[in-house]
Amino acid sequence: MTASTLTVFGTERAVPEVTIERLSIYSRVLRSLELSGRETISSAGLARHTPYAAAQIRRDLAWFGQFGTRGKGYDVTNLRRQLDVILGVHVTRRAALIGAGNLGLALLGYTGFREHNFEFAAAFDANRQKVGTYAQGVRIYAMSEIAAVVADTDIEIAVLAVPAVAAQDCADAAVRAGIKALLNFAPTQLSVPDGVQVRNVDLSVELEHLSYFLERRQERIGRIASSDPP
């Protein structure tokens, strides 16, 4: 069974999303090992550089094939390359920014996109004043132009950096224009048709999670201080 058939036909289980996230982290660790001159590493060695167990790593890799040598471990460069092929990071992907406000402009300037072979080919904004101008060398279009621009430029990804109230409408427009992957920075759950991938970067959820933790911590300290019964 090849990786490509995994999710498609009938009974095979799909690769869990968390596995993909870990693959990305393995790739990163391998890159730094490569730089340090290391040539080979075991799953146990890799585990020491991550929060994951060796068995977890081997099982994650098993979804995609066999990459190691028994008794020896993995070739650092080879494994890194294979992971990068699996993750598809060698291919340049064109993206559209939707929402050229503060966050959007910061994202346009963020080098991480380029480093991951993402290329902003267009930006869209509701503000008439901005339409026709350029930011970071990227032209800003009106939302109404999205279908035409996406079709013209092979854009596959939309990066949503609009206010929460506008996010669903923008996502709908992007999907209608043929976009298949969305990176959503708006604090809302988007609903999209099957076959469209959404990843959320939700600062609200992160901040509330930290709040929760600190609040609980206070309580724990309070209870210990006052010697409450166990």
Q: Which of 6, 34, 42, 49 binds DNA (CB under 7 A)?
A: 42
CA 130, 134, 136, 139 dihedral sign is positive
Which among 65, 114, 70, 120 has a CA at the least distance from the CA of 89?
Answer: 114
Q: Are strands 68-69 and 73-75 parallel, antiparallel or unpaired?
A: antiparallel
Give yes or no for residue 33 binding its own copies (CB under 8 A). no
Residue 43 found at the interface with DNA (CB under 7 A): yes
Q: Which of 13, 37, 66, 112 binds its own copies (CB under 8 A)?
A: 112
If binding is defined by CB under 8 A, does position 199 make contact with its own copies? yes
Q: Work out how close the CB of 70 gets to its own copies at its nearest, in angstroms, rounded to a whole number.
A: 28
Does the protein bind DNA through residue 50 (CB under 7 A)?
no
* Residues in 116-135 at the binding interface with its own copies, rule: CB under 8 A: 116-118
- List the structure tokens of 62: 């098993």
10 binds DNA (CB under 7 A): no
Nearer to its own copies, 169 or 215 (CB): 215
74 binds, among its own copies, DNA, none (CB under 5 to 8 A by kind): DNA
> CA dist 203 to 64, 112, 188, 200, 219, Å?
32, 18, 11, 9, 24
Q: CB of residue 91 vs its own copies: minimum separation in angstroms?
A: 7
Interface residues for its own copies in 1-30 (CB under 8 A)?
Answer: 4-5, 7-10, 17, 20-21, 23-25, 27-28
- Candidates 31-39, 67-75, 92-100, 157-165; binding stretch for DNA (CB under 7 A): 67-75
Residue 3 or 44 having the CB closest to DNA: 44
Interface residues toward DNA, by CB under 7 A: 13, 16, 18-19, 42-44, 52-56, 58-59, 61-62, 66-74
Interface residues toward its own copies, by CB under 8 A: 4-5, 7-10, 17, 20-21, 23-25, 27-28, 49-51, 86-89, 91, 93, 102-103, 106, 109-110, 112-113, 116-118, 156-157, 180-181, 183, 187-189, 195, 197, 199, 201, 203-217, 219-220, 223, 230
